[in-house]
Amino acid sequence: MAEIPNDIFFASIAEIGAKLRAREFSCVELTRAYCDRFERLAPRYNALALSLRDQAMAQARDVDSELKRGRTRGPLQGIPYGVKDLIAVKNQPTAWGARPFAGQVFKEDAHVIEKLNAQRAVLIGKLSMISLAGGGNYRYAAASVTGPGRNPWNRDHWSGGSSSGSGAAVAAGIVPFALGSETSGSILTPSAFCGVTGLRPTYGLVSRRGAMALSWTLDKIGPLCRSVEDCALVLHEIAGRDTADQTSSGKSFTYTPKMRQKPDEITIGYAPVDFDEWADPTAREAFKNALAVIKGFGFRVKEVALPEFPYGAVLGTILAGEAGSIFEEFIRSGSVDLLHDARQIAGLKSYIELSAADYLRAMRVRTVIQQAIYSLFLDVNVLITPTRFETADKIADRLDQGRGPTGSSQGLSTMIPAGNLAGLPALSLPCGFVNGLPVAISLVGRAFYENQLIQIGNMFQSQTDWHKRRPPVDA
């Protein structure tokens, strides 16, 4: 039996795949090692929602059988992975991070699971999350049936919500990649806090069939990985048309690593106030250094700012209206009182009191916002801003209180709600450390321009090694 070296747990998808095909170890040996690591380390970060060892080992045996016959598929063949626990796995519990749904089982796999199964990726487990993906808003990181997500870089700090388990598991080398979801920051935040690379796709590019709905017009599924290229490889497989999902755009994604345009043909917009004022003083140097790396490639740069709109309030109203409808029975039945966070309980109850007039008013404002943001992209191809302006919160901190500096103007400081309202893709890139905790910048692009973000992100990671850093995890 081959021994799996510790470096494999922090290797890229391409590196692991090459070793599998070279028969340096079997898929069964690789999967067993990952399952062992998942069951041993994931509880340390409150990242384990469900181990799928038996199912994973059966999948691994099938992969080995294929490889022995010379049957090779795509780059994800034989690669272990995990999914956020709002993504359904056939005949397995899908608790949505919430105690009232602990015994919930679905009869079909989510569409993204079907697509990864077709590529023979090996699902080893489900990963923890904030209850109901944070619907209702929550006060503490402990708003989950599995407890507060702990950061592999410092377990006294949060791994980020609501895809907390996905971020921690990738950072700790528990899985090579994971799927998370985002309504307003739930891929980007754990990616930034945990020092991994996260890709929020354009709304509708990846089918959400079989995933818990929080907001029909905002939810997106995307990958958290060790590198930009890994994100691209995963997105290549999970994107595409799904006739059973009415929100599916019908578009596909083909990874194109080589940039078609020269850097001096691409304009990147940024707001100096983001780096000079909004960013925590301890993180400003890291953010400015990252910006300098991007500028150093020869891109044209332009100072920009988001138009003045109440992005957070508009998104919050839309989410409240849609989540209130989705979870109305759960809320009215009183089952909502079994959640862990008092503020989240109160927030969900308030959702069903929202008037149709308020929801429709927010949707009308959203249309104006979308038009304004699309106009902004007439002058730039990509926007760059810190993903989060500070490092991860401490586990015991209240999350409903603002912290850190504020800027004299808005800049791009509200890019997370603005980008989600517009359905735009974003790529979070690790760019440094502050007091031992990661920080990251984000690239935000035009709808369905994921390849452009990926190409720029690949350039950034070719000149930096922040994405290769490892937290102090036991082997």
Structure tokens at 84: 């956020």
Q: What is the rounded distance in angstroms from the CA atom of residue 162 to the CA atom of residue 184?
A: 9
Residues classed as catalytic:
84, 162, 186
What pLDDT, on a 0 to 100 scale, did the predictor assign at position 251?
Answer: 96
Containing structural domain, residue 63: 1-261+281-290+387-398+425-475
CB count within 10 Å of CB 313 equals 12
Q: Is residue 305 part of a domain?
A: no
What is the distance, to the nearest Å, from the Cα of residue 65 to the centroid of all Cα atoms in its chain?
33
Tell me how many domains the chain contains. Answer: 1
Instruction: Decide if 24 contacts 2 (C-beta within 8 A).
Output: yes
CATH of the domain at 83: 3.90.1300.10
Q: What is the pLDDT of residue 2?
A: 78
User: CA dist 462 to 227, 229, 297, 425, Å?
Assistant: 10, 11, 11, 21
Residue among 119, 109, 115, 107 at smallest CA distance from 89: 109
- pLDDT at position 405, please? 85
Classify residue 303 as exposed, middle or buried by CB count within 10 Å of its CB (0-12, 13-18, 19+). exposed
The DSSP line for 292-349 is HHHHHTT-EEEE----S--HHHHHHHHHHHHHHHHTHHHHHTTGGGGSS-HHHHHHHH
| Rounded Cα distance, 29 and 35, in Å | 10
Assigned domain for 118 exists = yes
pTM: 0.97
In a domain, 336, yes or no: no
For residue 473, being part of any structural domain is answered with yes
Query: b/e for 213-232, b at 16 or more Cβ within 10 A?
Result: bbbebbbbbbbbbbbbbbbb
Q: Are strands 197-200 and 426-434 parallel, antiparallel or unpaired?
A: antiparallel
**Is 53 a domain residue?**
yes
Packing angle between helix 415-422 and helix 356-376, nearest 10 degrees?
A: 100
In this prediction, residue 475 carries a pLDDT of 40
Contact, 135 vs 323, CB < 8 A? yes
Give the pLDDT of residue 1. Answer: 67
Q: pLDDT in tens for each of the 475 residues of the chain?
A: 678 999 999 999 999 999 999 999 999 999 999 999 999 999 999 999 999 999 999 999 999 999 999 999 999 999 999 999 999 999 999 999 999 999 999 999 999 999 999 999 999 999 999 999 999 999 999 999 999 999 999 999 999 999 999 999 999 999 999 999 999 999 999 999 999 999 999 999 999 999 999 999 999 999 999 999 999 999 999 999 999 999 999 999 999 988 889 999 999 999 999 999 999 999 999 999 999 999 999 999 999 999 999 999 999 999 999 999 999 999 999 999 999 999 999 999 999 999 999 999 999 999 999 999 999 999 999 999 999 999 999 999 999 887 778 999 999 999 999 999 999 999 999 999 999 999 999 999 999 999 999 999 999 999 999 999 999 986 4
pLDDT at 364: 98
- Smallest Cα–Cα separation from 12: which of 205, 229, 265? 229
**Beta strands 122-127; 197-200: pairing state:** unpaired
Tokens representing 328 are 């109305």
**Cβ(113)–Cβ(52) under 8 Å?**
no
Q: What whole-number distance in Å separates Cα of residue 163 and Cα of residue 206? A: 17
Residue with tokens 């989510």: 110
pLDDT at position 474, please?
63
Q: Could you tell me if residue 380 is inside a domain?
A: no
Q: What is the dihedral of CA 346, 347, 349, 351, to 10 degrees?
A: 160
Joined tokens for residue 417: 């709600």
Question: Is 358 part of any domain?
Answer: no
| C-alpha distances out from residue 394 to 148, 157, 160, 171, 422, Å | 10, 4, 10, 17, 31
Residue 350 sits at φ, ψ, to 5 deg, of: -70, -25
Residue 434 within any structural domain of the chain: yes
CA distance 180 to 83: 7
Q: How many CB atoms lie within 10 A of CB 475?
A: 9
